[in-house]
Amino acid sequence: MCSILYSSSDFYKEEIFNQIAQKIQLTETMKKLAEKRYETIASLIHKNISPDPEIYAQGSFKMKTTSKPYESEEYDIDFIVEIESSYFEGLTPEQALTKLHKLFDTDLYREKVEIKNRCLRIKYANEFHMDFTPVFKKKDIIMVPDKKYNKYTESNPKEYMDWFETIASNYNKDFYNQYTEKLETIRSEIEELEDDIFVMKPPLKRAIQLIKRARDVYFHDKDYSPSSILLTTLYTRYTDSSYSTINEILQNVTAILLNMGKEIDATNPTLKEEDFSKVWNEDENYYIYYIEFIRYLSESLSNLNNKNQVTIFQKLFGEKIVNNVFEDRVKYNEQLIERKGMFSKGDILTTSMLFIINEAVFSGIKAKANTFYAN
């Protein structure tokens, strides 16, 4: 038996959070395309560098927390190129990046590749850009070229990933046990709808997708946007294993960050020398805008407990994508509720579905024609 009973409002918010997160992540088609692009680039690197470098994914692509940037088609996909230290001998960070850049001086890549601060960026218009960071190993860490500081800085993406995955997988399953139980009722009755429920992910991964999307919307016309690695680290560090839902993580961790202010620990938990908030000391505006964003997020999330939730979702994550989610859910939910005898009166999931329909109708959102299945 589950130890906590959740309200229809909990199910409603979780359903919408999940659907928004699902729509802003890489589709299976995009993943396959990215893998194909990666294989071609990796093959070029392997052919030209000896001994063979190790190439592996890092960041949101590896963590499965990709989030489509606001009003942009390009996802950001990060890779590490771990090369023998002799490759970097006598080279400044800029020279090391330039050396790798020369491999791409071909008709296929010449117009697509540019040198960034710590990596080479290969852009595929309206698809994604791939960042390849050349590094070398020093004991148990890697050294990353940094043009801005003209030095090689320490990092450890593999250990960071292990830390993140451990915390992401350690959460209270009460909510999703209840939700899955309700979905099984639907799936046993309506076979053709079984693949339409949102793909399950740990709530922390979904929360981070949404935080990054909210940041992109908020900073669309502003400077000093906080980095993804900073937000990912903070929300992971202060997530408690007792949390069951995306909403609990978003509300509770955001409140912690707001209360702690600049005293928050933003260092890499697996490498204390790496401080993701050091830019706050270099330019105070980065901290000022970070805390303004956290305050705005906290207030918006609190207001989701009131009326006009659709408007708040729109402001947080973008009007177009939120409307698309509600259009889909209204069509889907109407079809489910029309099935006689599936739900008992007052069933919590049915109430949640009605909640979504009522909110959509209140906001003038109608079901999208032919989105799901024929009657």
Residue 67's closest CA among 217, 209, 267? Answer: 209
According to DSSP, the β-strands at 128-138 and 75-82 are parallel
Domain 28-158 has CATH 3.30.460.90: yes
What was the pLDDT predicted at 90?
A: 96
Percentage of residues in the chain having pLDDT higher than 70: 82
Q: Which helix (H) or strand (E) holds 208?
A: helix 203-218
**In terms of pLDDT, which residue wins out, 352 or 31?**
31
What's the pLDDT band for 375 if we cut at 50, 70, 90?
very low
Per residue in 125-141, pLDDT (tens digit) is 888 999 999 999 998 89
Q: What does the pLDDT average to over 355-361?
A: 62
pLDDT of residue 57: 95
- Residue 339 pLDDT level (bands cut at 50, 70, 90): low
CA distance 228 to 87: 30
Average pLDDT over the chain, rounded to an integer: 86
Residues 55-81 pLDDT 10s? 999 999 999 999 988 887 689 999 999
For residue 263, count other CB atoms closer than 10 A to its CB.
6
3 state SS of 129: strand
Angle at 266 between CA 313 and CA 83, to 5 degrees: 105
pTM of the complete model:
0.88
Model confidence at 273: pLDDT above 70: yes
- What pLDDT is attached to residue 301? 95
Per-residue pLDDT, averaged over 195-201, amounts to: 62
pLDDT of residue 180: 73
pLDDT of 6 higher than 50: yes
Q: What is the pLDDT of residues 17-42, one digit of tens each?
A: 998 999 999 888 999 999 999 999 99
DSSP 65-123: ---PPTT---EEEEEEEE--GGGGTT--HHHHHHHHHGGG-STTTTTTEEE-SSSEEEE
* Encoded amino acid at 39, one letter: E
Q: What was the pLDDT predicted at 194?
A: 42
The single-letter DSSP state of residue 126 is T
In the structure, what pLDDT confidence band is assigned to residue 374 with cuts at 50, 70 and 90?
A: very low
Average pLDDT over residues 311-336: 84
The pLDDT score that the predictor gives to residue 340 is: 46
**Distance between CA atoms of residues 65 and 323, nearest Å:** 22
- The whole-number pLDDT of residue 78 equals 96
The pLDDT, as a whole number, for residue 185 is 63
268-292: buried (b, 16+ CB within 10 Å) or exposed (e) per residue?
bebbeebebbebbeeeeebbebbbe
pLDDT over 70 (residue 119):
yes
Q: Alpha-carbon Rg of the chain, whole angstroms? A: 23
The answer to whether residue 195 scores a pLDDT higher than 50 is no
pLDDT of residue 364 exceeding 50: yes
Q: How is residue 343 annotated by DSSP?
A: S
Domains of the chain by residue range: 8-25+171-362, 28-158
Q: How confident is the model over 226-266, as pLDDT tens digits?
A: 999 999 999 999 999 999 999 999 999 999 999 999 999 99
Rounded to the nearest 5°, which phi and psi values hold at 235? -70, -30
Residue 179 has pLDDT above 90, yes or no: no
